Structure 1
Amino acid sequence: MEEQGHSEMEIIPSESHPHIQLLKSNRELLVTRIRNTQCLVDNLLKNDYFSTEDAEIVCACPTQPDKVRKILDLVQSKGEEISEFFLYLLQQLTDAYVDLKPWLLEIGFSPSLLIQSKVVVNTDPVSRYTQQLRHHLGRDSKFMLCYAQKEELLLEEIYMDTIMELVSFSNENLGSLDSLACLLDHTTGILNEQGETIFVLGDAGVGKSMLLQRLQSLWATGRLDAGVKFFFHFRCRMFSCFRESDRLCLQDLLFKHYCYPEQDPEEVFAFLLRFPHVALFTFDGLDELHSDLDLSRVPDSSCPWEPAHPLVLLANLLSGKLLKGASKLLTARTGIEVPRQFLRKKVLLRGFSPSHLRAYARKMFPERALQDYLLSQLEANPNLCSLCSVPLFCWIIFRCFQHFRAALEGSPQLPNCMMTLTDVFLLVTEVHLNRMQPSSLVQRNTRSPVETLRAGRDTLCSLGQVAHRGMERSLFVFTQEEVQASGLQEGDMQLGFLRVLPELGPGGDQQSYEFFHLTLQAFFTAFFLVLDDRVGTRELLRFFQEWMPPGGTAAASCYPPFLPFQCLRGSSPSREDLFKNKDHFQFTNLFLCGLLSKAKQKLLRHLVPAAALRRKRKALWAHLFSSLRGYLKSLPRVQVESFNQVQAMPTFIWMLRCIYETQSQKVGQLAARGICANYLKLTYCNACSADCSALSFVLHHFRKRLALDLDNNNLNDYGVRELRPCFSRLTVIRQHVLQKIGAIKMTSGARNLYNNQITDVGARYVTKILDECKGLTHLKLGKNKITSEGGKCLALAVKNSKSISDVGMWGNQVGDEGAKAFAEALRDHPSLTALSLASNGVSTEGGKSLARALQQNTSLEILWLTQNELDDEVAESLAEMLKVNRTLKHLWLIQNQITAKGTAQLADALQNNTGITEICLNGNLIKPEEAKVYEDEKRIICF
């Protein structure tokens, strides 16, 4: 009837008639559609259009329509301005007068500037409740409880978006989501048009709860433009707190158990039922429901006023039987399934990408120097870096870094190292154990690490038992029976260390489990070996023996079980990596060393008898010492000048890692005594920069001369920085002992750092080594990431060195600027005999600078400029140089852009130069027929 009356009513535009006439002509429409009169009276009073008596007259009317009629009568009697202001109120207070929005658009009402300057106060219950919710969520989402529930930090300071992927029902990638606003977009990634729930899943610590908190914060501050007027947030675990007999209607669940409206709750609820699409519900942690709830079998409950158990309300909200059209966002850990008919879209959180990690470092550490240092440490340690893909682990690792920085407050030096891996995993364990403790609004968690681990000892033992049994069989997926047999309780599964696999178990009808990260299984295995009193020495050292291949037991019986048989044979040409697919054993050994270190005794003595700890520590230290010594003795030796060289395998690197993890100076001293060679060749050992810390830790105690070769590893600037004290010490020893050889090319030191990840920053550290090592003769930094800036630093150091004879820079990018710097360095250099700038992006200007410098050089014999961009102009300059220079013997110009013209100029220069033995021009722009001219000149090599 209302719609029909409205359609038959003539609409009188405000442009052609006064506002009073407009109110009179549409009187019945206004009486019918206006339900909130208090908001109108409040604003008319505030702007002095109504007196107190007028308000009392309106309030005295018995019914709502009578109140509207009285307001209209008073407004029309007071003139044109108040009538215009009345229409302005209807237009501005959209929540209160939502039914009049089409009519206001139809009449094209546009207020004057005078009316727009008036103050409008929104006292509508719906708007007031929206403001109340914004305040409620803004307060609750401002701070994030972090770091084992011991401190609160601003969400804005620590939140970072993660990788969000739209996935299919079977978790196949359908594309990425760029922002949280896209998460609520109903046009992308839709799997089921009839579905009501957006399902966000991901592993523990990947940021699901923080994502919801960020959504709350955005909405509370008006930055989430999704048409949402109501935002209700629930933790799923709260639904387990209700008794089985509890019954609630939907209104009580929303208002009594979340946020109660300050006025007119019935009107607010009625608005929500009329416009459910303006509401957003978030339910965090479906996996935390301590219930055997099957969402697909919950009784239907579509009546919002009918009482039901809260779990029934939850299921019917997610299915859309209650408040159909409202947006619902549900989170759960990977492996939790939701009925497909509930799902509208499915989103998988992947954690941090490398770019996210860099952005997060910038957010957490505004100082550029700290950012760079932290990122270089993470790049140096792939194990830590891989953990940082999980936001929670990343947060913990960053806090470890802050801890070291705070410990060195006031020191001009940056922290020397990160915590050990064991430190990080102990902190991860503490954080997860504390997260499962009941939290209080008034009492913060104050438990010490000792109290936390002691309270969770049984859980840790059960997890360790699962991990250890799997490790013994190289098993990483566990059946439900295997998990239950360890004594793990349902609550222990909520810690997040074990996750449910999405696939069915081996039997086809059971869930399977795996540890969240391979290193976690290794950590809990080591924890079990330390905690369990029944573990003897043989079992304690069991996983060190895994490094020996099958069938090697008898042949290697005279050596410690640490040793791989392949290395003992020595004569085998194959470089089989005995560590392939055995990372789990390596990390177990690593964590065992960390847990049995002296620094952890204060913590572990509350969990393990002191006598058992002493026994296990003593056995481990003896084993490390005898293994390292026996391993180095077993390696074949090659005599290099006065050095006794051994080629170590990756086994040695892992030994160093284990020794470093102990952080024991005594163990370091024992290990240094076990080094029985004076030339360690560690090429192709897959060493990362963090291993340089371990190497330096041991060599700090080494008092004999030692050469070191680290070609073809994965070192970056951080690694070079960590090695610098070691190089400096060895150089001094060399100067005293090997004056004639001059630090044998410093064979290790700064010479052999070929094929790593050294950048300009690392190059600066190398220049310091050059300055300090006065006897250094060879510097090999090929195939790194050094640009013109690093090249210029190195060239200056080479210029100032009186002993350097061989500089290899192949495969960098020093360019013309770097080439000019090296030209200046070799101009009058007394000792430099070989220089390689091959594959460095050198073009015309750089090449001409080198040629001019060589006119004054009397020491250089070899110059490699292969794979650059040298042309005929450079060839002409080199030809002029050859007319003067009588020292250069080998000039390699392979794969440049020299043509027959440049070749002819070089050939002519040879007529007056008998010192040069070869000019290699292979791969230039010379045709075969053009090269035939030089067949008789054997020193010109074109093909």
Structure 2
Amino acid sequence: MEIQALPEVTAVPKDPRSCIRLLKADRERLVTHIRNVQCLIDNLLVNEYFSVEDAEIVGACPTLPDKVRKMLDLVQSKGEEVCEYLISVLQQIPDAFIDLQPWLEEIRFSPSELVRGRIIVNTDPVSRYTQKLRSEWGRDSKFLTSYSQKEEMLLADTYTENVMELLDFRNESLGTVSSLGSLLDDPAGVINQEGETVFIFGDAGVGKSVLLQKMQSLWAREELGSEAKFFFPFRCRTFSCFPPSAALSLRDLLFTHSCCPELDPDAVFAFLLRFPQSVLFTFDGFDELHSDFDLSQVPDAASPLQPAHPLALLASLLRGKLLPGAGKVLTSRTGVEVPRALIRKKVQLRGFSPSHLRAYTCKFFPDRALQVRVLNQLDASPHLCTLCSVPLFCWIIFKCFQHFDATHEGAHHLPDQTLTLTDIFLLMAEAHLNRALPTSLLQRNMRSQVETFRSGRETLCALGRLAYWGMLKSLFVFSQEEVEASDVQEGDLQLGFVRAVPEPGPVGDQPAYEFFHITLQSFFTALFLIADDKVNTRELLKFFGEWTPRGQSAASIPLPLLRLSCLGGSNLDKEDPFRNNDHFQFTNLFLCGLLSKAKQRLLRHLVPVVALRKKRRALWRHLFASLRSYLKSLPRTHTGEFNQVQAMPTFIWMLRCIYETQSQKVGQLAARGICANYIKLTYCNACSADCSALSFVLNHFPKQLALDLDNNNVNDYGVKELRPCFSRLTVLRLSVNQITDSGVKVLYEELTKYKILTFLGLYSNQITNIGAKYVAKILEECTNLTHLKLGANYITSEGGKCLALAIKKSKSILDIGMWGNKIGDEGAKAFADALRNHPSLSNLSLAFNGISTEGGKSLAQALQQNSSVKIVWLTKNNLDDEVAESLAEMLEVNQTLRDLWLIQNQITAKGISRLADALQKNSTILDICLNGNPIKPEEAKVFQDEKRFHF
């Protein structure tokens, strides 16, 4: 029981009426709204204002209103101090007396110093339940739970935020998330005011579960910045484990499968129903909702008291049919679409940026000497950095580094740039298996990887059998019986590959288990498919059917997916089945890695050589056939000199698999199948590690080509990984990719070696004046460059001047996009100098650049001496009538300009009148866009005959 002194309250003028009179005057209001008499009696007893007999008298009353009336009578009979104390309790425990808070504000109540010194006992069920939730969730979230049960790491000492990007419904960036608290209540990033769900998505291993654990920890410490009194964390995969006959009410779901109130559950549940906005749910892993259960066959769960299948409850909560107004945070792997009506904010986790990775490294390795060794190896290996940009893979790499450093007395280094994802998981498996060895103070373990895997074969096969069985059924939680049926021993469970489910599961008190991450289950599935003699080639290739293009035959086995039509979305059966099947694709990837030539020395000790060779041949044949079939099915567009192919995320997965083989022959055969010279991979969620796979294949492409990677997550690491194919790129689009000055420096170093680039797109990245100087050098040295897109970066007048000087020297540039920087008037003057008599520049955008009168006038004057520019965008600046006057003078001379965009400036009717006069002498300009300027409708009517004006 919590007992606390009343906090200090700023004194305000007291109501001249006494507290006794207040209780009498508002007696019926108090009788109506006091619902928790027991809390008041408890406090009166603790302070000896009531005797036990008084409490019994109140308790003997038959109804709640009678109890309140009797209590008020007794309190008033005991004098002014007791009445004042009663009102203080009403004020200081708002959860118990929420309906009386407006009354307390009306009377401007402030307790006396004597009453403020009295203790308050908070026995309100709602307050106590909130305290219990904070206590339990704080304890449960203290340690990271997604690794070995033998080693727990404090969340506070380990958690490092990664890049969180707000998106709109078209997946265009709305900026980054400033903090976890801002995800909930900050209006920034809201794309649907009626939506209640913050939808967070990202690739497997990017940190979605850990982010929710951090939110849980912050809420428990009251540091989340949310007003939510109740927090209910759920993992979606457990909903799939309930049998079809299961039926729960919402109350059962919350209090039985989450956390049960200690006092009066009825009162707590009634509060939840009455104030649903006080509730925050988190649902982790929406993509893991796999089940044979068909929700379309059952009615909506619209009543909080009516039992329904747990999946129906989940669907009704997400749709707002149950507890409308409650906050929801839903996570999923990339590719799962949630109906727009549900979404309030859409957030993509991008992984560690270079600064995040450095911060995480310093947290993970507090020992300075070891920290320096790790950072040095990361700096020397760009590909290792690309793998470490995924938090889960970074964690595994660092744990392996930590393990081998301790085992080999600091002499061990992780593999170099050829490290693949399969290598990471093999290292992790080796480290876990070595835990089973007896330790000695005098002798360290010096077993080779081959010896480790040979001795652990039975363990690997048993875990692989369990993983494969779950993969076939799309299940990720296993009962004790299922674990035993797979011959998994108790000792195997202690190695860290499998962990106990961290919350009560659907099977009650029986233990349940899961692999510590879905990618690990995929790894063991692939290992089992290779190591088990009974698995034939058809079964080996089972999961490759998940990426077969529509309309083509495949030896795939359909896996039942939870039908989510009840959420209001489109029919999933008509969608790409690959979209949320990452666990199958990781299995395919690990198959390619394990069956690669480099892994044969290891696997021949686990699998007969003849069987291994047979499975390798079958895999390579199927991989090449799938790649050829897929590439033929892709839509193509012929534009000028380019034969453009629009690839999909499936193509990225194929490239990943090819890269895992580490076979140059495989890479050459894959490159030979790309019958296009413009590869478009926009919005494919390609990360920096994918650039390694892309380069591995494109490095063998025999001709020059164009590469469009706009709107992905390439970042600086990815730019470094693209180095092998820069000698072939004539077009490179990397807009919206988290690229900084470091990445631009790499572009300068590589692109200027070959000087074949014609188009460079770097819109909406994180480039400053430093990067702008490198881009200027590219512009100067790449004499074929015709298009440069640098909008929405962080370039000011300094960078603008460097770019303008390079533009002035260029005789090839046609199109410059600088929208959304901050070059200001000084930068505009430099661009004006570049414009004068420029021989080639055709399109120029300086919109939204902080340009005002002086800069605008300079540009207008320069255009008088230019005969090449046809389109100028000056939207969203601060151009006024003086600039309009200069532009009018320019239009009287310039007979080349076709379009002039002046949207959202400060031009009035006076300036427009001057432009209208100039148009009488100009027959070549087609459009002048002026909407968004301070022009009244009646003023605009004056110019309605001038069809070239657009208001």
What's 1:457 paired with? Answer: 457
Whether contact under 8 Å (2:705, 2:731) holds in the other structure is no
What's 1:838 paired with? Answer: 847
Aligned partners of 2:810, 2:469: CA distance in 1, in Å?
A: 59
Whether contact under 8 Å (1:497, 1:516) holds in the other structure is yes
In structure 2, give the amino acid aligned to 1:455. Answer: S
Query: How big is the shift at 1:367?
Result: 11
Query: How big is the shift at 1:803?
Result: 2.4
Over 3 Å counting, the alpha-carbon distance change for 1:629 and 1:199 in structure 2 is closer
What's 1:204 paired with? Answer: 147
TM-score (norm 1): 0.54
Whether contact under 8 Å (1:647, 1:681) holds in the other structure is yes
| Cα displacement string for residues 471-522 of structure 1 (whole angstroms, at most 9, x for unaligned residues) | 1111111111111111111121112221211333443231221111111111
- Establish whether residue 906 from structure 1 lines up as the match of residue 902 from structure 2: no
- Counting only pairs closer than 5 Å after superposition, residues 169-318 of structure 1 correspond to structure 2 as 172-173=133-134, 202-204=145-147
What's 2:812 paired with? Answer: 803
Q: Secondary structure at the match of 1:546?
A: helix
Aligned partners of 1:442, 1:669: CA distance in 2, in Å?
A: 50
What's 2:697 paired with? Answer: 698
Q: Secondary structure at the match of 1:447?
A: coil
In structure 2, give the amino acid aligned to 1:919. Answer: I
- Counting only pairs closer than 5 Å after superposition, residues 240-639 of structure 1 correspond to structure 2 as 357-361=357-361, 384-388=390-394, 390=395, 393-396=397-400, 419-548=419-548, 555-557=551-553, 576-639=575-638
| Cα displacement string for residues 762-808 of structure 1 (whole angstroms, at most 9, x for unaligned residues) | 77776676566543433345556767677666555544443232233
Q: Secondary structure at the match of 2:513?
A: strand
Q: Secondary structure at the match of 2:579?
A: coil
Aligned partners of 2:933, 2:787: CA distance in 1, in Å?
A: 30
Query: How big is the shift at 1:417?
Result: 5.0
Whether contact under 8 Å (2:705, 2:728) holds in the other structure is no
In structure 1, give the amino acid aligned to 2:426. Answer: L
Q: Secondary structure at the match of 2:788?
A: strand
Partner residue of 2:895 out of 886, 894, 900: 886
Q: Secondary structure at the match of 2:942?
A: helix
In structure 2, give the amino acid aligned to 1:629. Answer: R
Higher mean alpha-carbon deviation, 793-802 vs 648-657, is at: 793-802
Whether contact under 8 Å (1:872, 1:899) holds in the other structure is yes
Aligned partners of 1:865, 1:453: CA distance in 2, in Å?
A: 65
| Cα displacement string for residues 825-862 of structure 1 (whole angstroms, at most 9, x for unaligned residues) | 44443222112233455555654554444343321111
Query: How big is the shift at 1:748?
Result: 9.9
Q: Secondary structure at the match of 1:481?
A: helix
Query: How big is the shift at 1:888?
Result: 1.8
| Greater RCO structure (CA 8 Å; 6+ sep) | 2
Query: How big is the shift at 1:878?
Result: 3.5
Higher mean alpha-carbon deviation, 638-647 vs 507-516, is at: 638-647
In structure 2, give the amino acid aligned to 1:802. Answer: K
In structure 2, give the amino acid aligned to 1:385. Answer: P
What's 2:672 paired with? Answer: 673
Aligned partners of 1:679, 1:446: CA distance in 2, in Å?
A: 50
In structure 2, give the amino acid aligned to 1:657. Answer: R
Query: How big is the shift at 1:722?
Result: 3.4
What's 1:925 paired with? Answer: 934
Over 3 Å counting, the alpha-carbon distance change for 1:359 and 1:770 in structure 2 is same
Aligned partners of 1:373, 1:628: CA distance in 2, in Å?
A: 34
| Cα displacement string for residues 250-272 of structure 1 (whole angstroms, at most 9, x for unaligned residues) | xxxxxxxxxxxxxxxxxxxxxxx
| Cα displacement string for residues 505-560 of structure 1 (whole angstroms, at most 9, x for unaligned residues) | 443231221111111111111121222233222111111102348xx5xx413x79
In structure 2, give the amino acid aligned to 1:702. Answer: F
Whether contact under 8 Å (2:543, 2:556) holds in the other structure is no
Over 3 Å counting, the alpha-carbon distance change for 1:517 and 1:892 in structure 2 is same
| Cα displacement string for residues 92-137 of structure 1 (whole angstroms, at most 9, x for unaligned residues) | xxxxxxxxxxxxxxxxxxxxxxxxxxxxxxxxxxxxxxxxxxxxxx
What's 1:330 paired with? Answer: none
Aligned partners of 2:467, 2:635: CA distance in 1, in Å?
A: 38
- Counting only pairs closer than 5 Å after superposition, residues 692-841 of structure 1 correspond to structure 2 as 692-731=691-730, 750-751=759-760, 770=779, 773-780=782-789, 795=804, 798-811=807-820, 819=828, 822-840=831-849
Higher mean alpha-carbon deviation, 616-625 vs 657-666, is at: 616-625
| Cα displacement string for residues 37-80 of structure 1 (whole angstroms, at most 9, x for unaligned residues) | xxxxxxxxxxxxxxxxxxxxxxxxxxxxxxxxxxxxxxxxxxxx
**Quick one: percent identity of the two aligned structures?**
66
Query: How big is the shift at 1:583?
Result: 1.0
Whether contact under 8 Å (1:689, 1:715) holds in the other structure is yes
- Counting only pairs closer than 5 Å after superposition, residues 144-163 of structure 1 correspond to structure 2 as none
Whether contact under 8 Å (1:168, 1:174) holds in the other structure is no
Over 3 Å counting, the alpha-carbon distance change for 1:641 and 1:214 in structure 2 is closer
Over 3 Å counting, the alpha-carbon distance change for 1:862 and 1:801 in structure 2 is same
Structure 2: any 5+ residue segments left out of the alignment? 1-127, 159-350, 366-370, 560-570, 733-754
Structure 1: any 5+ residue segments left out of the alignment? 1-166, 177-188, 192-197, 216-351, 410-414, 565-571, 734-745
In structure 2, give the amino acid aligned to 1:888. Answer: L
Over 3 Å counting, the alpha-carbon distance change for 1:639 and 1:483 in structure 2 is same
Partner residue of 2:870 out of 861, 868, 872: 861
In structure 2, give the amino acid aligned to 1:546. Answer: E
Over 3 Å counting, the alpha-carbon distance change for 1:861 and 1:353 in structure 2 is closer
Aligned residues: 585
Query: How big is the shift at 1:383?
Result: 7.1
| Cα displacement string for residues 679-703 of structure 1 (whole angstroms, at most 9, x for unaligned residues) | 3332332222332222221111111
| Cα displacement string for residues 627-680 of structure 1 (whole angstroms, at most 9, x for unaligned residues) | 222212223433322433332222111111111122211110010111123333
Whether contact under 8 Å (1:380, 1:718) holds in the other structure is yes
Query: How big is the shift at 1:420?
Result: 1.8
| Cα displacement string for residues 165-221 of structure 1 (whole angstroms, at most 9, x for unaligned residues) | xx9999945699xxxxxxxxxxxx899xxxxxx986744359965669999xxxxxx
Aligned partners of 1:201, 1:697: CA distance in 2, in Å?
A: 36
In structure 2, give the amino acid aligned to 1:669. Answer: Q
Over 3 Å counting, the alpha-carbon distance change for 1:812 and 1:633 in structure 2 is farther
Aligned partners of 1:756, 1:684: CA distance in 2, in Å?
A: 15
Aligned partners of 1:212, 1:386: CA distance in 2, in Å?
A: 14
Aligned partners of 1:699, 1:845: CA distance in 2, in Å?
A: 48
In structure 2, give the amino acid aligned to 1:536. Answer: N
What's 2:60 paired with? Answer: none
In structure 2, give the amino acid aligned to 1:639. Answer: H
In structure 2, give the amino acid aligned to 1:894. Answer: I
Q: Secondary structure at the match of 2:592?
A: helix
Whether contact under 8 Å (2:841, 2:869) holds in the other structure is yes
Query: How big is the shift at 1:907?
Result: 3.4
In structure 2, give the amino acid aligned to 1:922. Answer: N
In structure 1, give the amino acid aligned to 2:908. Answer: T
In structure 1, give the amino acid aligned to 2:815. Answer: D
Whether contact under 8 Å (2:815, 2:844) holds in the other structure is yes
Q: Secondary structure at the match of 2:728?
A: helix
In structure 2, give the amino acid aligned to 1:602. Answer: R
In structure 2, give the amino acid aligned to 1:535. Answer: V
Over 3 Å counting, the alpha-carbon distance change for 1:936 and 1:620 in structure 2 is same
Aligned partners of 1:932, 1:361: CA distance in 2, in Å?
A: 64
Higher mean alpha-carbon deviation, 201-210 vs 705-714, is at: 201-210
Aligned partners of 1:711, 1:429: CA distance in 2, in Å?
A: 36
Whether contact under 8 Å (1:378, 1:384) holds in the other structure is no
Q: Secondary structure at the match of 2:578?
A: coil
In structure 1, give the amino acid aligned to 2:656. Answer: R
In structure 1, give the amino acid aligned to 2:391. Answer: C
Query: How big is the shift at 1:885?
Result: 3.1
Whether contact under 8 Å (2:832, 2:862) holds in the other structure is yes
